[in-house]
Amino acid sequence: MLPRHCLLDLATKIGGERANVAEYEPSNVVGFETWRWGTRYAREDKTLKELGWELCDSDQVAGIRHDELRIKLVCCGTDANTGNPTKSPRNLSERGVNSCKLIGRNAGQIEMGFVEPDEPTYDLWYYCSYYCAKFISIEVSRPTSEIGGFVTAFSDRIIIAQPGEIPGIRRFSVPQEFADVPKPQVSRRK
């Protein structure tokens, strides 16, 4: 219910936006832009909507959810370990208090089928993605532990693209002859 081609397409769109993040920007901008554009594009994806995924801001954590699967999917910018089966990825930006509560809920006791919860609960999964000039790597993973807002363990990891499988993001540079265009003369009317 979460087609690979949709996840790859999402990574391509996020990568296009991430190419606009300059090297000199604050480190948290990289994680924020990944989350921002990933959340937007996931919510806009027609195929995901047709498959039952819908906008979800419950628990003050933005993402998408699937009611039948009881899964909430949230975009998360992660490091170069993303997609590497022998290493766990680490988020680039600190998770907030509400995300940490959801991660704690993932690690909690298994729900008993005979006890009705007050509100429907969803397992939190992260759409983890890493972008660099050499490659893009992607996985969908279920976090179960965090320290100081940084995920330390995942119970399940589904590798979508390992490092080196997808070419990296490209930044476009403006040739110098176009950058030095003279500015037109400005005058005020009297």
**79 lies in some domain:** yes
| DSSP structure string for 165-176 | EEE--------H
Domain hosting 77: range is 4-179
> pTM above 0.75?
yes
State the number of CA atoms in the 13 A half-sphere of 112 facing the CB: 2
pLDDT digits (tens, 9 = 90+) for 8-53: 999 999 998 988 888 888 878 888 899 999 999 999 999 999 999 9
Number of structural domains, the chain? 1
**186 lies in some domain:** no
Q: What are the E-state strand segments in 14-109?
A: 53-56, 63-66, 71-77
Q: Say yes or no to pLDDT of 182 above 90.
A: no
What pLDDT does 174 receive? 58
**185 lies in some domain:** no
Tell me how crowded residue 102 is: count the other CB atoms within 10 A of its CB.
22
Q: Which residue has the tokens 């606009």?
A: 20
**84 lies in some domain:** yes
CATH number, residue 69? 3.40.600
**47 lies in some domain:** yes
Q: Which of 90-104, 117-131, 176-190 has the lowest mean pLDDT?
A: 176-190
